[in-house]
Amino acid sequence: MTVTLVVAFLALTSGIVANRFLRPRVMGDDDAEGMGVRDLIGPLMTLTILILAFMLVTAAGSNGRADDAARAEAHALDHLAEMADYAPPAPRQRLRGDAVCYARAVEHKEWPAMAEGKGSSAPSVWSRDFRATFKDLGPGSPTFGMLVAADDQRSLGRQARMTESTPTIPNLIYWFMLVNLSVTVVGLGLCLPRKDNKGPLAALIIVTALLTTTLLIIRDVDRPFSGVIVVKPTQMAEIEEESARDFLDDYAADLIPCDGQGLARPPGGGA
């Protein structure tokens, strides 16, 4: 960083010195052939568009990865609940109940927290109980390997989802682009004619609106779990509904170890 700043400062200083002392000797004292504001705005406009395009691709990639991670996590949880059917009766009930509670905790507790770039401890209660049940089953159980593999995929999906809940584009870059956009718009305004400028002025307003909208879209897409373009817990909600329905086909409702929000019930609590 220091080298970059030093080189940029030296380049700027050299350019100013060359303009002040070298240019009159090379090109004479006539400034008519010098570059104007209009000539300098072209490269700046190109730079702004290129950086905005790069930021948009980066943000869209993060949004897509967040959706993929949510789908993978829900699929792994569904697979784990299905594999639990092959376990002995006691761990089967425990795992299926935990799967319902995990889905509820993710949907109702962790998803809203991710809008703030945070996580929730609620799903971890049930993932720990998954592992405790696996430990009770032991490696000798025929379902042990399949259950552990499914839980591993669930854990990877959750980690990926949580990673994408934080912006991939740092705030410093966003504010840099906001300043860059402002300078570009001001420079374009300087290039407009003062008279009979209704057409160019309208074009400037449209360009400003488009660049600003692009920057706002980037900021929104880069936060997959908040804003307008948001990744919703659709798959997890479907798994929760399906798992709860299957559980209630075989067990009483008060045997689900959590409430509707995925929070553990106190010992002896009812439905």
Q: Nearest CA to 48 among 204, 169, 223, 182?
A: 182
Q: pLDDT confidence of 270, banded at 50, 70, 90?
A: very low
b or e along 171-187 (b: 16 or more beta carbons within 10 Å of the residue's beta carbon)? eebbeebeebbeebbeb
Model pLDDT for residues 180-211, shown as the tens digit of each residue: 888 878 777 777 777 776 777 788 788 888 88
Q: How far apart are CA 138 and CA 111, in angstroms?
A: 33
Phi first, then psi: give them for residue 264, nearest 5 degrees: -65, 140
Could you give the C-alpha distances from 37 to 4, 50, 183, in angstroms and in order? 26, 20, 12
Q: Among 87-91, 165-169, 236-240, whose mean pLDDT is lowest?
A: 165-169
pTM, two decimals, is 0.78
